[in-house]
C-alpha cells in the first residue's frame, strides 16, 4: 500500500514542483494533487491555455523526485445553483480530470453537488448528482481515470451552545446513500473516496461505512482526525477518532487503494521552519496505518 498526502497547503507556499519534492523527501511514496486553486487563480497552470505543458512539467518533476501522483482532488464546491456558473464549474472539473490523468493519477475526488439544504432536498440533489456524475464518468472514461464520490456534511441553521457550527447530514453521509451514489450511474468509472474524518461528524462510524462500501466500491481515502465536532483535518491520533477499527475494516474488505492523508489542518498550525519535520512525522503516521492494515490482512 502506498502512502500519500495532498500537496495543499504546501503548494500554496512553495508551488507545485517544490511541494512534490518536499513530500518525497519526507518519505511519502505518492502525492494527491490538490487542484483547489483552479477556483481562485486564473493564472494557475491548469487554468492556462498551455495547461497540458504545465502538467507535463509536473510529471517530469515527479519523475526526477522518484514519486508518483496516485490521486487528485478537483476544485470545489461543485455547484451553487446558478446554471451558468455551475456549467462553468463543471467544465473546470472536466479540465481537472484531464490534468490529473496527464499526471498519472488513478483517481480524482469530486465533491457531490450539495448547494441545496439536504434535509429538504435529498431527492432533488440525487437527481442533480446522477446527471453530474454520469457526465463526469464519460470524462473519466475518455482520460482513463476514476471519478471518486466523497461523503459530505452541511451546517444546521442554528449553532451549538458553545458557538461552534453544528454539523448535520449531507449527500453521502449515510452508507446506504453513499453506495447508491457510486452505483447509480452504472459506470465502472465512478468509485468512492471515504473521508474518514467526515463520517463521525454526522454520527457514523467510519469502520461501518468501509464495510458497507466494500472492496469494489472503496478505492480511495481521505485520512485525518478531529474532535468529533469540527472538521479540523488534523493528523491521526491528534483527535478523538479510533483508528484501530478503521484499520480492521480496511483489512476485512481487502482494501486495495492507498493510505492518503488529508491533514492540512495539522500542517497549517506548524511554523514554516518546521515543515520538513512535520511532513516526515506525517509520513511516519501514514506508514504506521498502512502497515497496520497490511498486518491485519496477513493475519486473515
Compute the distance between CA of residue 116 and CA of residue 158 in angstroms, rounded to an integer. Answer: 17
Q: State pLDDT tens for residues 178-212.
A: 999 999 999 999 999 999 999 999 999 999 999 99
Q: Residue 6 phi/psi, 5° resolution?
A: -70, 150
Residue 13, preceding peptide bond in cis (omega within 30° of 0): no
Structural domain containing residue 213:
3-299
What is the reported pTM? 0.97
**Residue 221's domain is classified under what CATH number?**
3.20.20.150
What is the tally of structural domains in the chain?
Answer: 1
Tell me the pLDDT band of 161, cut-offs 50, 70 and 90.
Answer: confident
What Å distances lie between residue 180 and 76, 104, 124, 186, CA to CA? 22, 28, 14, 10
pLDDT more than 90, % of the chain: 96
DSSP conformation class of 226? -
Instruction: Name the grid cell of 70.
Output: 496516485
**Mean pLDDT (the chain, rounded):** 97
**To the nearest 5 percent, what fractions of the chain are helix, strand and coil?**
50, 15, 30
Compute the distance between CA of residue 166 and CA of residue 185 in angstroms, rounded to an integer. Answer: 32
pLDDT above 90 (res 162): no
Task: Kindly tell me the sign of the dihedral angle through the C-alpha atoms of 35, 71, 222, 175.
Answer: positive
Compute the distance between CA of residue 288 and CA of residue 235 in angstroms, rounded to an integer. Answer: 12
Amino acid at each position: 500500500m502506498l502512502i500519500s498526502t495532498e500537496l495543499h497547503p504546501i503548494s500554496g507556499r512553495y508551488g507545485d514542483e517544490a511541494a512534490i519534492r518536499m513530500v518525497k523527501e519526507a518519505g511519502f511514496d505518492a502525492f494527491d494533487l490538490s487542484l483547489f486553486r483552479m477556483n481562485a487563480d486564473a493564472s494557475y497552470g491548469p487554468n492556462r491555455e498551455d495547461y497540458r505543458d504545465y502538467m507535463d512539467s509536473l510529471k517530469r518533476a515527479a519523475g526526477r523526485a522518484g514519486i508518483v501522483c496516485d490521486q487528485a482532488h478537483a476544485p470545489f464546491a461543485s455547484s451553487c445553483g446558478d446554471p451558468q456558473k455551475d456549467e462553468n464549474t463543471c467544465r473546470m472539473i472536466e479540465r481537472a480530470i484531464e490534468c490529473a490523468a496527464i499526471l498519472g493519477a488513478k483517481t480524482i475526488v469530486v465533491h457531490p453537488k450539495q448547494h441545496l439544504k439536504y434535509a429538504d432536498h435529498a431527492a432533488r440533489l440525487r437527481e442533480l448528482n446522477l446527471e453530474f456524475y454520469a457526465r463526469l464518468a464519460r470524462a473519466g472514461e475518455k482520460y482513463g481515470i476514476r471519478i471518486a464520490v466523497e461523503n459530505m456534511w452541511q451546517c444546521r441553521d442554528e449553532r451549538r451552545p458553545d458557538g461552534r457550527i453544528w454539523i448535520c447530514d449531507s449527500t453521502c453521509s449515510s452508507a446506504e446513500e453513499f453506495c447508491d451514489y457510486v452505483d447509480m450511474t452504472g459506470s465502472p468509472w465512478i468509485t468512492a473516496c471515504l473521508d474518514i474524518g467526515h463520517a463521525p461528524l454526522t454520527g457514523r462510524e467510519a469502520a461501518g461505512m468501509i464495510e458497507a462500501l466494500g472492496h469494489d466500491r472503496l478505492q480511495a481515502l481521505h485520512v485525518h482526525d478531529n474532535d468529533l465536532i469540527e472538521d479540523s483535518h488534523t493528523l491521526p491520533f491528534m483527535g478523538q477518532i479510533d483508528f484501530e477499527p478503521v484499520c480492521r475494516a480496511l483489512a476485512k474488505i481487502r482494501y486495495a487503494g492507498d493510505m492518503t492523508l488529508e491533514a492540512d489542518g495539522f500542517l497549517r498550525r506548524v511554523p514554516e521552519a518546521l515543515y520538513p519535520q512535520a511532513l516526515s512525522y506525517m509520513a511516519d503516521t501514514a506508514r504506521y496505518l498502512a502497515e497496520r492494515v497490511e498486518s491485519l490482512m496477513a493475519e486473515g
